[in-house]
Amino acid sequence: MQSTGPARRPDQQHGEDGPDGRWTTYPGAPVDTRRQLMVKLMWTSVWAFYLLYPVQDLTTGQHDTAGTVTGAVLLVVFLAAYLSLVVIRNSRGIARSRQYVSFALLAGIAVGTSIGLGDAWLTLFTYTSVCAAIILPGRTALIGVTATTGVLAVVGLTTGADHSTLVAIGLPCLLAGFAMYGMQRLVTTMRELREARTAVAHLAASEERLRLARDLHDLLGHSLSLIAIKSELAGRFMDAEKAAEARAQVADIEQVARQSLTDVREAVSGFRRPTLQVELAAARTALAASQIHLDADPRLAEDRPGLGAEEAGALAWALREAVTNVVRHGVGATRCTVHLDETWEEDGRHAVLEVVDNGPGPGKSQPGNGLSGLRERLEQVGGRLDAGPANRGKGFRLRALVPLRPGPTGE
């Protein structure tokens, strides 16, 4: 009974489904709508085929009417309790403590039916083991899985089940529980990674705000102090009727004020300019939400010699636009590759950002306003944009080039 369900696309609000009917399932996906809960229940019901053995036992006529009716009712209750765990774990209005009631009911039915109706019902312990791995906290789940398998062995020996049957049922019971425990740990790790990526994006934005605050403090602190001093001097010269000296101080004040305004505009412009590090963190979050694996060049997070601030900002815009296109138009895409490299062109050395996905490709559609605006941004810094189908017409490739400045630091 794995928590597997449909994942929302980033452009969907409040869990509503898009017109294309695109559904993606992955472990630990959140449930926000009743439809998503129903889909998750259907996925969980797939594992009910293991109940074929108890059903077959009821239909062979080995039991009297009372035993058959009792077994059928208990089997329905068992399945309902099993599915109720999905509802409890994915509904905010239901207390999580109720899942232990369902688990106790599962364990009780598994023991009672196995003793009363025969060893064919020992398969119910497999479901009980899986549920123990899911609902019990931490390493207690491993103890629960082992204990469930131990109870299965004791009940099987008590009812006279042969050793081959015990091994055939007990081994899957133990392994299924351990596998579900591992899956739960994986789901937890995936959730923590998504939260960490979100935190990294917020930290990057916070770092930019701190940088702006430091720059403004340094710029305005010095400039305003100088203006205050020169204003005081101008007042003294005016009191002393030294008009020429006062006029010179006022001219200096005007020059300092204009330079301060220019410096503030440059600082704010740098703050508004996106960076590759921030856009890479945002890309991870957006693609992960769309269930698209991001294969990113680790050099994207490093400062590249020769890559100026304006050029790096243009590449960051290119990365943002490429990821937006993959999320919005790459229906069916499962992988997105981002690579940063250098190349020599006729007009010198260039940095190249290449983003490729394995979706259906652009088809016959014309480039939108996003690509046109991106092409203009790149042209402003002396770069260019190449966009079109990827290898063999499958997927979409966006290739942005910007010139690298001479010198080891790019200054």
- pLDDT tens readout for residues 176-196: 889 888 888 888 888 788 788
Nearest CA among 73, 106, 75, 157 for reference residue 1: 106
Cβ proximity of 57 and 71 under 8 Å = yes
The residue-averaged pLDDT of 85-108 equals 80
Nearest CA among 169, 144, 146, 143 for reference residue 156: 169
Supply the pTM of this predicted model: 0.48
**Model confidence at 29: pLDDT above 60:** no
**Model confidence at 30: pLDDT above 50:** yes
Cβ proximity of 115 and 161 under 8 Å = no
**Model confidence at 391: pLDDT above 80:** no
Task: Enter the tokens of residue 361.
Answer: 């490709």
pLDDT value of residue 100: 86
Amino acid at 347: D
Q: What is the mean pLDDT of the chain?
A: 79
pLDDT value of residue 108: 92
